[in-house]
Amino acid sequence: MYWSDRKENAVYVLLALILLSVACYNIFFNLGKFPIYSWDEARHGVNAYEMLRQGNFIVNTYRYKMDYWNLKPPLSYWAIMLGYKTAGFNALGLRLISGICAMLTIIIVGIFVKKNFGNAASLLSMLTLSTSTQFLINHSARTGDADSLYVFLFTVAILSLLLSEKKDYWLYVSGLAFALAFLTKSWHAGNIAVIMGLYLFITGKYKKLSFKKWMILCLCMIVPILIWAVMRYQYDGFAFFQNMISYDLLHRSTVPIEGHVGDESYYGVILSHFYFLWFAVLLGMILVYHFHQNLSINLSKHEKRSYLIGLCLWVIVPFILYTLAKTKIRWYILPVYPPLAIMIGILASRILLKGKWLVKIVLLSTILFVAHYYEGEILMYVNNPIPNDQLSLIEKTKSLDGVRGYSLFKYHPKRHKAVWAQSAVLTAELVNDLKVQGGDFHAFLKNDRALLLVKKKFYTKQLAASNHLNIVASNHWGYILSKEKIRMKHQLN
């Protein structure tokens, strides 16, 4: 038995390492080669860059003015700052911690399922999550948004809640993870609090907690948020919090803002788009369980019943709350992917261990087919970054000598005020600490330390000649002009 267990564990470790290697490739390959995206990656990246430049780790700014559009507490900005410090001021640094958080989410899901449901369930859960396309490539693991960190903390919070059936101190870990999730995505963390409340009530665990334990839990959930709130208040009083409540909570929940509309079927459509085959596998296995009583999971143990309740709440609560909210955005549903992967792993392992041979073969073949299909989609994406010519042109200023800190203007023959994409703002800051300006062509001419971005269709030789401008960089998109001759760095002795 001892040698059999050692062999089984060795096989598990080998297969787990293979799956984690696949996940690592899916998350990190070409991570820094994809252009920076506006909405919301670039906004977070600008906030983090400017906070780091100004040495202020509490107040987020956009173009060096207080940002009352991105109304999130600062934890996700701190994560991006860490990425910048580790990998540099570039797209890889912007996304590094998101990728690491996604890997950690897969790992802790695998560990939790292994400890409680066995090796096979663990491997299948990791396989499912490692090939969940939206979790990996849409506003999460491979972008500099706050969502990957948030999903990781969400996962820590709910798994800790489930583990509190064994040791009460895990409940405090869950409370602390909730606080950190709030400091990452603000009101989104309310989903965690609702799940915790319903779980404690339905399982009856609330009756077993002493007053002291309730107090410790409340302190874990509130104190980190309160510390941040007090520090933030020192800068602009209640202004930031008023916007958080009025716009980011009430307005976003009651009115479809910024064109993010959808009906009650919205998130069902999102799941069917990104997760249809895995969801079909899950529904198919539920039918198999319904018609084969010998496969049913033994729920006589309170712990197993509690785990089932927790997993169901983990999926149902975000789905219902975001469906009720009037603003619909596809990545809001990201936290449901870990519990869905766990459910698939648990059910599939049970069938593969106790089902009939024909059922086993069909299920295993289906799982491998689905994993292969989604892995193909992921590989197609990560191996084909689509460049953004405007951002590539701005990146060329990195080779110019002496332009660091310059102002960057944009030329338009009919506009007196420049319109900048958030991705262009961040690229300019990361490449050369360039400060994009909203002024027109005349404002550029009055600025001695300035560059001008001109789209190719707006450029004429007369424009350059009549204003004594030099082309210092160019590509298919357009030109960067300067009032002085600027040498390339490699030309210097």
Number of residues that this document lists for the chain: 493
Q: Is pLDDT above 90 for 300?
A: no
- Which pLDDT belongs to residue 486? 79
Q: Is pLDDT above 90 for 108?
A: yes
Burial of 87 (0-12, 13-18, 19+ CB in 10 A): middle
Q: Which runs of E-coded beta strand occur in 61-201?
A: 61-62, 65-66
Reported as type and span, the H/E element at residue 417 is none
Task: Tell me the domain boundaries of the chain.
Answer: 11-382, 389-491
Residue at token pair 């959808």: 262
Q: Is pLDDT above 80 for 491?
A: no
237-260 pLDDT per residue, tens: 999 999 999 998 998 888 888 778
277-294 pLDDT per residue, tens: 999 999 999 988 877 766
Q: Is pLDDT above 70 for 83?
A: yes
- Which pLDDT belongs to residue 55? 96
State the average pLDDT over residues 94-103.
98
163-185 pLDDT per residue, tens: 999 999 999 999 999 999 999 99
Share of the chain above pLDDT 90, in %: 86
Indicate the residue type of 271.
L
- Which pLDDT belongs to residue 164? 96
State the average pLDDT over residues 359-377.
97
Question: pTM of the predicted model, to two decimals?
Answer: 0.95
Instruction: Indicate the pLDDT class of residue 492, thresholds 50, 70 and 90.
Output: very low
327-342 pLDDT per residue, tens: 999 999 999 999 999 9
CA dihedral sign of residues 445, 448, 450, 451: positive
Instruction: Put the strands of the sheet holding 435-436 in their side by side order.
Output: 435-436, 407-411, 450-455, 478-482, 470-474
Q: Is pLDDT above 50 for 493?
A: no
Helix (H, G, I), strand (E, B), or coil: what is residue 474? strand
Burial of 194 (0-12, 13-18, 19+ CB in 10 A): middle
DSSP string, 92-125: HHHHHHHHHHHHHHHHHHHHHHHHHH-HHHHHHH
Q: Which residues pair with 408 in a beta bridge?
A: 436, 451
